[in-house]
């Protein structure tokens, strides 16, 4: 039985990591660097500010984090304006949970980016509760976003499931005490999770989550042997 389910957004529900990657690739090129899997790992899942700092450190340009974060913001905004699709299985899984168990989104992106991604992917109608990096003082990998989501959903963290695709997000959910399901958005990257799947469309994942949500909706079985 579970109290709630909380989803990351970028790279988990919506195919926005391709948008972020194009923007990041452009910035790395502007500074004379290539961009591959190793470089992606230093920025994926981070807030704009944290990604800017990480890039500044990588480029050997301390103090330029805020400027790089703003550049990343501007490029990603252009990319998202072109639209992004829901990832395979996202709508089906969320639709199957909606009404059975409280659900929410907890994303490290700015509010405007999260809203744009969900609207573009046609998922905005499924979520009443959406939390972004703008809603907490300490975003992921700190536990704050998941703790805020659990509090709003009246859910006990240890009885709440988090879906994440990055190490940063997993660290946040772990720190908050949630059960973590990993669906990695980068190939070959291992996540410290309780369960891992390659896609939200995995039939085993769908069946397990819906079964547990149904149990939670119906409550624990009665003890027919009781007095």
Helix (H) or strand (E) holding 90: helix 90-97
One of 3, 10, 124, 129 is an active-site residue; which one? Answer: 10
Yes or no: say if 186 and 41 are a contact pair by the CB < 8 Å rule: yes
One of 8, 115, 144, 165 is an active-site residue; which one? Answer: 8
Q: DSSP strand E in 73-116: where?
A: 103-106
Looking up tokens 């913001």 gives 73
To the query of whether residue 10 is one of the catalytic residues in this protein, the response is yes
Looking up tokens 């500044």 gives 56
What DSSP character marks residue 181? E
To the query of whether residue 8 is one of the catalytic residues in this protein, the response is yes
Give me the torsion for CA of 122, 168, 195, 115, rounded to 10°.
-10
Cite the active site residues.
Answer: 8, 10
């Amino acid at each position: 039985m579970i109290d709630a389910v909380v989803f990351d957004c970028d790279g988990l529900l919506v195919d926005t990591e391709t948008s972020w990657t194009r923007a990041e690739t452009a910035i790395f090129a502007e500074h004379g660097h290539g961009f591959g899997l190793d470089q992606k790992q230093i920025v994926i899942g981070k807030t704009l500010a944290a990604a800017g700092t990480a890039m500044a450190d990588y480029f050997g340009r301390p103090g330029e984090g805020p400027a790089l974060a703003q550049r990343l913001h501007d490029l990603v905004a252009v990319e998202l304006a072109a639209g992004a699709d829901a990832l395979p299985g996202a709508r089906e899984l969320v639709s199957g949970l909606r009404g059975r168990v409280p659900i929410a989104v907890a994303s490290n992106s700015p509010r405007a980016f999260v809203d744009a991604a969900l609207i573009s992917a046609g998922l905005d109608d499924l979520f009443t509760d959406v939390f972004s990096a703008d809603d907490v003082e300490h975003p992921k990998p700190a536990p704050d976003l998941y703790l805020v989501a659990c509090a709003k959903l009246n859910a006990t963290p240890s009885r709440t499931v988090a879906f994440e695709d990055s190490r940063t997000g997993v660290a946040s959910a772990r720190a908050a005490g949630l059960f973590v399901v990993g669906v990695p958005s980068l190939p070959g990257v291992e996540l410290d999770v309780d369960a891992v799947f390659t896609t939200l469309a995995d039939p085993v994942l769908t069946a397990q989550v819906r079964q547990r949500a149904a149990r939670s909706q119906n409550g624990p079985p009665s003890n027919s042997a009781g007095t």
